[in-house]
Amino acid sequence: MTDNTANILDSIYETVVDGDQNTVLSLVKEALAIDLTPQEILNEGMIQAMAEVGELFESGEYFVPEMLLSARAMKNGMNYLKPYLVDGGNKSKGRLALGSTRGDLHDIGKNLVSILMESAGFEVIDLGVDVPPERFLEVVRDDGIEVVGMSCLLTTTMPAMKDAIDHLSKAGVRDGVTVLVGGAPVTQDFADHIGADHFAPDANQAVKLVKSLFNKS
């Protein structure tokens, strides 16, 4: 990595931490112009910056408004990168639904999973945030979705993942659907405990997993 590329990634990192959504956009454009890949920009610039924002919040230096500004800056950059990640010519390799579980308003990780799934050729039904168990059931039963991804970022919304899975079981559709869970507080142990089929620690692993699922079927 040259000084120039390292500097620009550092600047992207800092502008996301500062929540400066306009500067982040011009820096992302600059980074692409000097041939940094969208993945490098995301992973080494923006995602790492959000981890620092979390630490600043935890230590009492940042409050919700600052977190929101950083989230907006990250989303701005991510949206700009989307066309560089998604291959519009791809024929759908399979469909899945994604949502942040009930009570959870965090959607950056879920959106990243969604963008990378689309870039890998999958069709994504984005259920949004604060998704109740009934909505997960609806998309399985009424839209014939066989792979459902659930994301959560709060320890307090983790039980909602179990509720959603239990709801699928009670409705008698659990055997026909593969449930993938992820999000910062989620672990493989937790996934096993709530009866999810798979856990992915990040968006890339989630894509790998879904590719393997659809290749099998």
Give the interface with ligand B1M as residue ranges (CB under 6 A): 47, 50-51, 53-54, 57-58, 64, 67-68, 71, 98, 103-110, 112-113, 149-151, 153-156, 180-185, 200, 202-203, 206
Tokens of 173: 């559709």
- H/E stretch holding 99: strand 95-101
Beta carbons within 8 Å of 70's beta carbon, 6+ residues apart: 16, 17, 18, 19, 49, 50, 53, 62
Q: Which is nearer to ligand B1M, 33 or 183 (CB)?
A: 183
Q: CB of 161 within 8 A of CB of 171?
A: no
Query: E strands within the chain?
Result: 95-101, 123-131, 147-151, 178-182, 198-199
Residue with Cβ nearer ligand B1M (83 or 185): 185
- Residue with Cβ nearer ligand B1M (47 or 139): 47
Give Dmax over CA atoms of the chain in angstroms.
Answer: 57
Provide the minimum distance between the beta carbon of 55 and ligand B1M in the complex, in angstroms, as a whole number. 6
Smallest distance from ligand B1M to CB 117, Å = 9
Min dist. Cβ of residue 58 to ligand B1M (A): 4
Tokens 């659990």 found at: 174
Residue 4 or 61 with smaller CB distance to ligand B1M: 61
Q: Shortest distance, CB of residue 190 to ligand B1M, whole angstroms?
A: 12
Q: How far is the CB of 7 from ligand B1M (least distance, A)?
A: 23
